Amino acid sequence: MLEVLNQISDIGIVPVIKIDRVEDAVPLAKALIEGGLPCAEITFRTSAAKDSIKAISEKYPQMLVGAGTVLTKQQADEAMAAGAKFIVSPGLNPEIVKHCSEKGYPIAPGVSNASDVEVALSLGLEVVKFFPAEAAGGLPMIKALAAPYTSMKFMPTGGINAKNLNTYLDFPKIIACGGSWMVNADMINAGDFDGIKQLTKEAVTQMLGFELAHIGINQANEDTALATAKLFETAFGFTNKIGNSSIFAATSIEIMKMQGRGKNGHIAIRTNYINRAVRYLAMNGIKFDESSKKYNDKGQLTLIYLDQDFGGFDLHLIQK
């Protein structure tokens, strides 16, 4: 259960999908994977759900595919037999939760109030779906529930879109958001998988929020670093801030007092969620220098270098 939840958390967005035709399942999964979201919640709202899960699981075993709108024990069994890796239900039915827990199925039932959360806790659950998120009070309601129930985490679904995604994900008690804006049913039925891929990429880009933090320029020693910093100050009025190992000209140029990392220096890229960024880049073949990791006093990753050269510059991610 914990492993699946950690995978969902690292992905950040769970596309919630209604499939009418089994033949759409594999090209849809391909579009999601290439768009950066190797995850899907296939809802049992159509007769194609079970076979769609099976088709995706067989073609893309690396994809984290789950079953949504599971209302019966039989549906749960059928979903897991077809290859589902997790179960999601719109409400909290203790009998369904017990059945899934006894069989070792990871399940996140829907809740919308404190009583539901207490039942979920009594059933030994660590994560619940908050549904319908926006209609049930949105982020303020989740924060209100998280205050007394400190061990519970949430996966809101319903009304989540590109505009409010990061607002939800910024709250640490939310492991991921479910949404369907990148997998519109009309686009699936029209076979517009290129469009779905593009919307998926846009959703991932929105979530990760990559942006340039600063550029580090290597210098031979402190004297040359000071001279270079003075040039930036004279030419552009950039105020210098002198540190132990470098000098910042304004906030975006770091002038090293030595030959630092990289042939020419380094580039720092900010991201909203560094763990999700690492997963996304790794999925695209990027490797990391594990020895470069830095953590804050809470044990959270704050910095990591990529294990490759970018035009003579080393590159690292930093948590916003």
Give the whole-angstrom CA distance, residue 288 versus residue 306: 4
Q: In degrees rounded to 5, what are phi and psi of residue 42?
A: -90, 115
Both tokens assigned to 64: 């984290």
Please check whether residue 259 is in contact with residue 196, taking contact to mean a CB–CB distance below 8 angstroms. no
Please check whether residue 119 is in contact with residue 98, taking contact to mean a CB–CB distance below 8 angstroms. no
Give the whole-angstrom CA distance, residue 47 versus residue 59: 20
For residue 261, the 8-state DSSP code is S
Q: In degrees rounded to 5, what are phi and psi of residue 216?
A: -100, 130
Catalytic site includes residue 173: no
Q: Estimate the crossing angle of helix 49-59 against helix 73-82, to 10 degrees.
A: 30
Catalytic site includes residue 126: no
Q: In degrees rounded to 5, what are phi and psi of residue 123?
A: -95, 5
Give the whole-angstrom CA distance, residue 218 versus residue 195: 43
Both tokens assigned to 54: 């099976």
- Of the candidates 54, 85, 129, 153, the residue annotated as catalytic is 129
Both tokens assigned to 1: 């259960």
Give the whole-angstrom CA distance, residue 163 versus residue 179: 12
3-class secondary-structure state, position 318: strand
- Of the candidates 18, 41, 153, 197, the residue annotated as catalytic is 41
For residue 188, the 8-state DSSP code is H
Size (the chain), residues = 320
Instruction: Report, as residue numbers or ranges, the catalytic residues.
Output: 41, 129
